[in-house]
Amino acid sequence: MLAELSIKNFAIIESLSISFEKGLTVLTGETGAGKSIIIDAIHLLIGGRGSAEFVRYGEEKAEIEGLFLLEEETHPCYQKCAEVGIDISEGMVILRREISVSGKSVCRVNGKLVTMGILREIGSTLVDIHGQHEHQELMDSSRHLPLLDEYGGAEIASALEEYQAVYRKYEQLKKQLQKLNENEQQMAHRLDLLTFQLDEIQKAGLQPNEDEQLMEEKVKIVNFQKIYEALKNSYEALYGEQRGLDWIGLTMSHLDDVAHIDAGLREMHETIANSYYLLEEMAYKLRDQLEQLEYDPHRLDFIEGRLNEINHLKRKYGQTVADILQYAEKIAQELDTIQNRDTHIHQLQKELQSVTEDLLIEAKNVTAVRMKHAQTLVQHIYQELKDLYMEKTQFDIVFSKREGLLDAPLIDGVPVKFQEDGVDVAEFYISTNVGEPLKPLAKVASGGELSRIMLALKSIFSKHQGVTSIIFDEVDTGVSGRVAQAIAEKIYRVSVGSQVLCISHLPQVAAMADTHLLISKETDGNRTKTSVKALTEDEKIKEIGRMISGVEITELTKEHAKELLELAAKIKG
């Protein structure tokens, strides 16, 4: 849920901090008081398009910050934040956006700077804003199929998963075939290039880790004199007359005379004796190393030439010798494929035909599962519309296939185009008047009808989308009477499962609020300010009375307001 919203220097708002609660929060106030400005601020906070015009006159920048609380670790926001390396601690997500007078935006999520695109992706998991003319995804026909898939849940997801496993193999085979079917001239050029590259690598006769071994040898040759002197001096220090081993041998001899007297002396004698023999052995090894040392200036020239050759290959084929050898193996396989092109094409065509048959089966299964859930969804939507006094409305989900080229695989005689989500196109169709044909939902124009249709669909899909907060911006425009009451009850039911913020001019909706916020505007000197106040029960009666009758509030309108609040309490109870 959206727990806290802070707005500074935004439009006519100088400074505003609003705390929100769970359930249904209704924002009311006179036209122009700033209700929609608050929704605009939230829209910008979740990645909406902004400009310098939003900055309050005379200020350098506008600042908007929102605190969201996530109750479940399965919330989609966790995954989105993890993808971009943002930590969520104690289920808290803080979005912040600043817009300067130059129009530049700075976006942060939990203190980390993010791009507008990332802010928009994260924001879409937290807030869903619906306005009378802002149809968003429910009015976008390309979103109807994903919405149906969300509604179908695990069964559609499982069918899609099986389809997509085959689809990935199908796409891979198509790419391989397409590559082999490139024109002859391109293929000939590719063949010449690969032949030259493979010949160059093979002639070099590279061995695994050869460059590392050569570098080690080069270091030894370059430091030959230093190594020779160190070995010679070390050997002479240990071995020879009056050298280190002579003195240690003398010590061992003296202790040998008294070792039988005391156990401690015997232990010391044994330790020194062991050390003597170890050092003697090392002296022999130093002598052998000295005898084997040989300086060959021609060998150094060979190593440097060989390393230059290897570095030349590295610049062309890989960062290491292992990379070069791996590349050689890869192009050898590609050469074999090109040289035996016809055979490979025939094999791939056979394999593609088999995979296509499997894919057709999986695609038909996905369609069947979708159509089953579509029937359930249609009945569900009928019930929602009936609750909103649109019982004569007809609703249907119309399926078609994505049409492919004439030589594409056929389903029911239609050439289809396979995509990652299947071959189906689904669109919501509706008719609000008896005798009128069903038309695409996007073409429904009546404001009042559109409000109810949107609310009916949102009542269903809000349960499947996982958003934290849903905002209705005057979606109840154009309705009155019993329809207004039905809309109020429907909005309240949506708020039972999700936090709902609603701007409304309907007293019926205001009466259903768990929290009622009054937005007002006042003039301080030469500037206008917007303020927000949470209403008490008595203040609710007064505000609902104003919504019923306008400016003049009579005792009768107060009684009517009380009746609405009592009715709302019964419905909620």
pLDDT tens, position by position, 364-420: 999 999 999 999 999 998 888 888 888 888 889 999 998 877 667 888 778 889 999
Average pLDDT over residues 172-184: 80
Average pLDDT for residues 442-462, to the nearest whole number?
Answer: 71
Between vectors from CA 70 to CA 64 and to CA 72, what angle results, nearest 5°?
A: 165
Measured distance CA(159)–CA(362) in Å, rounded: 8
Residue 135 confidence class, pLDDT cut points 50, 70, 90: very low
3-state secondary structure of 240: coil
Q: Which of 338-342, 360-364, 438-442, 467-471 has the lowest mean pLDDT?
A: 467-471
**Sequence-separated (6 or more) residues with CB below 8 Å from residue 185:** none
Mean pLDDT value of segment 72-80? 86
Where do we find the tokens 């009715």?
567
Is the CB of residue 503 less than 8 Å from the CB of residue 34? no
In angstroms, rounded to a whole number, what is the distance separating the alpha carbons of residues 400 and 414? 10
Cα 304–Cα 305–Cα 310 angle in degrees, nearest 5: 95
Answer yes or no: is pLDDT of 133 > 50: no
- What are the tens digits of pLDDT across the range 228-257? 888 888 888 888 666 888 888 888 888 888
Q: Which two tokens stand for residue 341?
A: 């092109």
H or E element, residue 254 = helix 244-258
The predicted model gives 534-556 an average pLDDT of 86
Strands (E), 136-193: none
**Radius of gyration of the CA atoms of the chain, in A:** 40
Query: 144-172, pLDDT tens digit by residue?
Result: 898 899 889 889 999 999 999 999 999 99
Residue 60 has pLDDT above 80, yes or no: yes
Are 38 and 502 in contact by the 8 Å Cβ rule? The answer is: no
Least confident of 49-53, 236-240, 424-428, 503-507: 236-240
